[in-house]
Amino acid sequence: MESNELIVCRDAALGYEGRAVLTGLNLSVSAGDYLCVVGDNGSGKSTLMKGLLGLLSPMAGSIDRAAELKNGAIGYLPQQTQAQKDFPATVYEVVLSGFLNQKGFRFFYTAAQKTAALQAIGKLGILELKDRCYRDLSGGQQQRTLLARALCAASRLLILDEPVTGLDPAAAQDLYKTLRYLNEKEGMAVVMVTHDLRSALENAQTVLHIGKTSWFYGKVEEYLQSPEGRRFRKEEQ
């Protein structure tokens, strides 16, 4: 791997119980990248996320990760379940839990971790909400809280699964602005699965389109001129 590469997939196949869902997967995520993953329902986007996170081992080929990511130092923002939306904890407690994988055998969080959690809350513009109960927040506020939590776990990579689902247009745009800031100003690489193609392409640098019969992987400008890009735009209209 090159020094700036975080994840590299080489002819990888991913699937379950001996049946491949994705084959011939070749892509790389480097420091500061912004990759948008789109595709039809059932095309394998969730399977890809599991592979990138290290939750699913490739059936063939390889998925290599930078050393710093091998200990779980990836900020992951999954889709929320209803039970998670009703979680009875404060914003600060939820964000601080992003450090759970780093606690080791310590019973308490360190002072540095508590400070970092407050800094993440501040970056997301929700410092005034830190003592509020998570389940009493709006959808947009909950997503910002979970993104702050993901920042606590992340070193240089955020992986997000449909982060604007269920948000009103204003909250969705606020979230996109925050992601753009983290990507451009803080150098955080972003990998995002989304159906909100129009807004996602305004921010992304690279697109992976997983189709049932064809794939595309390349720059946004190239995607918009490709058969996959034109077809997908028509479906979104």
Concatenate the DSSP letters of all residues of 130-182 into one string. Answer: TTSBGGGS-HHHHHHHHHHHHHHH-SSEEEEESTTTT--HHHHHHHHHHHHHH
CA distance 209 to 27: 12
Considering the domain boundaries, does residue 126 fall inside one? yes
Considering the domain boundaries, does residue 129 fall inside one? yes
- Beta strands 157-161; 75-77: pairing state: parallel
How many domains does the structure of the chain reveal?
1
Residue 28 has pLDDT above 90, yes or no: yes
Considering the domain boundaries, does residue 94 fall inside one? yes
Considering the domain boundaries, does residue 51 fall inside one? no
Residue 97 has pLDDT above 70, yes or no: yes
Look at residue 137 in the predicted model and tell me its pLDDT: 92
Considering the domain boundaries, does residue 103 fall inside one? yes
At 132, the pLDDT band (50, 70, 90 cuts) reads very high
Range of the domain at 105: 82-153
Look at residue 205 in the predicted model and tell me its pLDDT: 93
CA distance 98 to 56: 21
pLDDT in tens, 133-189: 999 999 889 999 999 999 998 878 999 998 888 888 888 888 899 999 999 998 899
- Cα torsion for 8, 51, 229, 218, to the nearest 10°? 0
Considering the domain boundaries, does residue 22 fall inside one? no
H helix and E strand count, the chain: 9, 9
CA distance 149 to 140: 14
Considering the domain boundaries, does residue 109 fall inside one? yes
Q: What is the DSSP letter of 136?
A: G
Look at residue 231 in the predicted model and tell me its pLDDT: 60
Mean pLDDT in residue range 119-137: 93
The amino acid at 235: E
Angle, helices 139-153/111-123, rounded to nearest 10 degrees: 140
Mean pLDDT in residue range 70-90: 77
204 near 218, Cβ under 8 Å?
no
Look at residue 40 in the predicted model and tell me its pLDDT: 81
Considering the domain boundaries, does residue 111 fall inside one? yes
Q: HSE, CB side, 13 Å, CA atoms: give it for residue 70.
A: 6
Mean pLDDT in residue range 43-68: 92
Look at residue 227 in the predicted model and tell me its pLDDT: 81
Look at residue 25 in the predicted model and tell me its pLDDT: 93
Look at residue 56 in the predicted model and tell me its pLDDT: 93
The two three-digit tokens of residue 20, written as one number: 């491949």
The burial class, CB within 10 Å (0-12 / 13-18 / 19+), for 131 is exposed
